[in-house]
Amino acid sequence: MRLHVTDHPLVAHKLSVLRDESTPSPIFRLLVDELVTLLAYEATRDVRTEPKEIRTPVTTTTGVKLSDPSPIVIPILRAGLGMLDGMTRLLPTAEVGFLGLQRDEETFEAVTYANRLPDDLTDRQVFLLDPMLATGGTLVAAIDYVLERGAHDVTAVCLLAAPEGLQVVQDAIGDRVDVQVVVAAVDERLNDKKYIVPGLGDAGDRLYGVV
Ligand SMILES: O=P(O)(O)OC[C@H]1O[C@H](OP(=O)(O)OP(=O)(O)O)[C@H](O)[C@@H]1O
Ligand SMILES: O=c1cc[nH]c(=O)[nH]1
Ligand SMILES: [Mg+2]
């Protein structure tokens, strides 16, 4: 597993406002969208391209185009949905799949309630979106879903990660496949309810309210 922690003052500033408990949902949603766009720039550094001949008003030259098949972006519902527009703004031709996973708040196990993915992800670059990587259980389950479908190039874009969760992902994935995690910050630890500390609370609730 490769870990990329973004080091940028705008990311640090926006993340601090996001963490603030007094930031209301409309601003929280806007900040998540902006942060994802900044992270997407890093996360797509290895997106596959191929040469393409183009004609400018002056001459012909060789440009690049994104290779086929197009990448697939998979938000992990609910909270990952708040990251979708920010990601597809940079990758407008990407396809979108959906995974619904909810962490059981007693056992902390990820439970799947929705799965709308293509059967075959061979040769597709996969971008998983989830703001929080806490125990790592949700991300490991999501990675397993895409590996089962043949993916071998997977990038997870997260806002916050706990060191414990990163270790769980590293142990589960090892070096059997190229998995990259791009994150705005790695926080201190998990608390006894497995929330990230200092964190930002429950990302889904802060985006969409308590349901
Ligand atoms: O690393 P883990 O310990 O598995 O926890 C992280 C997961 O918890 C949150 O989702 P949640 O289960 O609260 O669902 P929600 O997005 O519907 O709020 C978060 O968005 C991640 O998906
Ligand atoms: O801190 C955390 C941990 C899991 N899920 C969240 O939304 N926040
Ligand atoms: Mg939640």
Spell out, as residue ranges, where the chain has pLDDT lower than 70: none
Active-site annotation holder among 107, 175, 176, 192: 107
Distance CA 120, CA 130 (A): 22
Q: Residue with the nearest Cα to atom 18 of ligand 1?
A: 204
Pocket-forming residues, ligand 1, beta carbon under 6 Å: 76, 78-79, 101-103, 108, 110, 130-138, 165, 194, 202-204
Residue 171 a catalytic site member: no
Instruction: Tell me what pLDDT residue 191 has.
Output: 98
Identify the pLDDT of residue 102: 97
Residue 176: per-residue pLDDT: 76
**pLDDT at res. 118:** 96
Candidate list 103, 124, 153, 206, residue with the active-site label: 103
What is the C-alpha to C-alpha distance for residues 143 and 141, in angstroms, rounded to an integer? 6
Complex ipTM > 0.95: yes
Q: The pTM is what?
A: 0.97
Of ligand 1's listed atoms, the one at least distance from the Cα of 108 is 3
Say how far apart CA 184 and CA 195 lie, in whole Å.
17
pLDDT of residue 175: 76
Residue 205 among the catalytic residues: yes
Q: First CA to last CA across the chain, in angstroms? A: 34
Amino acid 42: pLDDT: 95
Interatomic CA distance for residues 72 and 93, integer angstroms: 9
pLDDT of residue 205: 97
pLDDT of residue 211: 81
pLDDT at residue number 184: 98
For residue 132, what are the β-bridge partners?
Answer: 160
